[in-house]
Amino acid sequence: MTASESSLGNRIAELRLRRNMTQEQLSASADLSIDVIRKLEQGRRTTARLATINALAQALDTEPSYLVGQPTTFEIGETEDSLPSVLALRQAISPVADILGGDADPEDPPTITDLRASLLSTEVIRREGRMSEIGALLPQLIRDARMAAHAYTGAEAAAANSVLAVAYQVAATTLTALGKEDAAFTAMERSFNAVRQGDDPNLETLAASTLSWVFTKQGRLADAERVALARAQEIEPGFRSGRQDLALWGVLLLRAATAAVRQEKQGTVMELMRLAKGAAESMGEDLVVYATPFGPTNAGIAHVNFLVEMEKSDEAVRSARSIPNLAGLPPTWRARFHVDRALAYNDLGKDRASESALLLAEKDAPEWMRYHSTSRRLVEELRGRASRRDAVLGLADRLGLAG
């Protein structure tokens, strides 16, 4: 049985025994209730808060993605040959030619206009969560941008490096979503190098935001918070700052708050949320910067997410009802919001409401749902309590959940 096929509890028990730890020792090391660990290992509880998962991962010396059982490859397309894999991204990020050298590419490098158009096309795909298409297109974009960065000089080389920097960051987020944080970190190292040779100073902020997210997914929560806050301090906007400056700063604050909430630092979370909401209100409406939205709507859904993480489910449900202009957000952001609502309803024992929220998430971003571990765990839990007529059974089938 692979890590993606076994349950969260089975993976915890397997690693605990491999580390020669008793349940009591794991409880002490992770600073968690022994009852939580017993229920997880016995299958009486099939989900856990991310703060719990991070604590267990640290105590068991593993990645959080291993515990939650992330899918490790993309969806198969129409033919076996059309399968875009993690391997293709790894090869694009770390080509063997970097070590062994190789022949010059026989093709002419793409123009900067073509590179920018290719990057723009991936933004639409990313917003809609079409993972298999990202996996198919991104390796070639990285290779094209690398070729251009090496072939050109001056302003054209700088422009190519800026495209390359963003492409590496897209690769990092994609690989992290698939539980490949090691490759994601390599992509981020290369992104920072490209940023330094590029022509867009804002890309350093974007890189800090992405690295913070990668660290969060790795369970390196203190590092994630530090990276985001350090860059936020460097770019803190002033009285005359424009909407883009406010948005970039706000995104970093939310990244830091995400790391803080998973460390159960509620005071820090509330302060960061206060600053982010202030920036969002000054903007007036959401702005998408480098494929990431920020403004009143995104700040509102982030607040709901933090309330869910802090197990304030009643407050999360109430806050979710007052989020403005949801339709203006990218599909994957809306889907994540509906999953948070589903988690809150599940915590309150409202299975039908939780199921309805999950179906809305699937409607917004169906392929994204297949690779979102929290959604998969919640659907598994609801399925275990469902009657034959419940729609969650069909959802479980569409997500490819066995059993």
Q: At which of 169, 200, 231 does a domain end?
A: 200
Check residues 44 and 376 and name the one with the higher pLDDT.
Answer: 376
Same domain assignment for residues 42 and 154: no
What distance in Å separates the CA atoms of residue 373 and residue 224, rounded to the nearest whole number?
20
Phi, psi of 374 (to 5 degrees): -65, -45
Q: Are residues 313 and 360 in the same domain?
A: no
227 and 322 both lie in a single domain: yes
The 10 Å Cβ neighbour count of residue 194 is 25
Residue-level pLDDT at 360: 97
User: Is there a single domain that holds both residue 105 and residue 162?
Assistant: yes
Q: Are residues 180 and 274 in the same domain?
A: no
Same domain, 369 and 286: no
- The pLDDT score that the predictor gives to residue 1 is 43
Half-sphere exposure of 351 (CA within 13 A, CB side): 13
Q: E-assigned strands of 26-173?
A: none
270 confidence band (pLDDT: 50, 70, 90): very high
Residue 207 lies in a domain: no
What's the token pair of residue 19? 């580390």
pLDDT tens column, 288-342:
998 899 999 999 999 999 999 999 999 999 999 999 889 989 999 999 999 999 9
Look at residue 205 in the predicted model and tell me its pLDDT.
97
CA atoms of 20 and 56, how far apart (whole Å):
15
pLDDT score at 390: 81
- For residues 356-376, give the mean pLDDT: 93
pLDDT of residue 252: 98
Q: Please, which pLDDT band fits residue 178 given cuts at 50, 70 and 90?
A: confident
Q: Name 108's Cβ contacts closer than 8 Å, sequence gap at least 6.
A: none
pLDDT of residue 304: 97
Q: Longest Cα pair distance anywhere in the chain, in angstroms?
A: 65
Statement: residue 250 has pLDDT above 50: yes
Percent share of the chain, pLDDT over 90: 64
- Percentage of the chain lying above the pLDDT 70 cut: 92
Query: Is 297 contained in some domain?
Result: yes
Residue at which a domain ends, from 272, 302, 329? 329
Helix (H, G, I), strand (E, B) or coil at 50: helix
- The yes-or-no verdict on residue 106 having pLDDT over 60 is no
For 26-69, what is each residue's pLDDT tens digit? 999 999 999 989 999 998 887 777 668 878 988 999 877 788 76
Q: The domain containing residue 233 runs over which residues?
A: 215-329
For residue 22, is pLDDT > 50?
yes
Please give the average per-residue pLDDT across 128-146, as a whole number.
Answer: 86
Residue 246 has pLDDT above 90, yes or no: yes
8 Å CB contact between 182 and 167: no
Whether residues 135 and 175 fall in one domain? yes
- Say whether pTM exceeds 0.75: yes
The pLDDT of residue 291:
85
Helix, strand, or coil (residue 220): coil
- Whether 45 and 132 share a structural domain: no
Mean pLDDT of 367-376: 90
pLDDT at 109: 83
Query: How does the average pLDDT of the chain come out, rounded?
Result: 89
Please tell me the predicted confidence (pLDDT) of residue 401.
Answer: 87
Chain Cα centroid distance, residue 148? 29
pLDDT of residue 81: 41
**227-244 b/e with 16+ CB inside 10 Å = b?**
bbbebbeebebeeeeebe
CA angle 172, 177, 182 (to 5 degrees): 50
In a domain, 208, yes or no: no
Q: Give me the residue label for tokens 């969560």.
A: 129
Q: Are residues 116 and 19 in the same domain?
A: no
Question: What is the pLDDT, as a whole number, of residue 107?
Answer: 63
Is the pLDDT at 275 greater than 70? The verdict is yes
Euclidean distance between CA atoms 264 and 241, whole angstroms: 32
| Tally of domains within the chain | 4
Are 128 and 97 contained in the same domain? yes
Say if 114 falls within a structural domain: yes
Inform me whether the pLDDT recorded for 84 exceeds 60: no
Distance CA 229, CA 231 (A): 5
Q: Which of residues 83 and 294 earns the better pLDDT score? A: 294
Q: Are residues 345 and 321 in the same domain?
A: no
Average pLDDT over residues 231-246: 94
Would you say residue 63 lies in a domain? yes
pLDDT of 72 > 60? The answer is no
For the chain, how many residues are written? 403
What pLDDT is recorded for position 373?
Answer: 87
C-alpha to C-alpha distances, 123 to 101, 118, 120, 288, nearest whole angstrom: 32, 9, 5, 11
* Kind plus residue range of the DSSP H or E element containing 292: strand 292-294
Of the three residues 313, 329, 345, the one that is the final residue of a domain is 329
Q: Do 98 and 189 lie in a common domain?
A: yes
SS (H, E, C) 159-180: HHHHHHHHHHHHHHHHHHHCCC
> What's CA 229's distance to the chain center, in Å?
18
- What is residue 323's DSSP assignment? -
What Rg, from alpha-carbon coordinates, does the chain have?
21
Question: In the predicted model, what is the mean pLDDT of residues 394-399?
Answer: 93
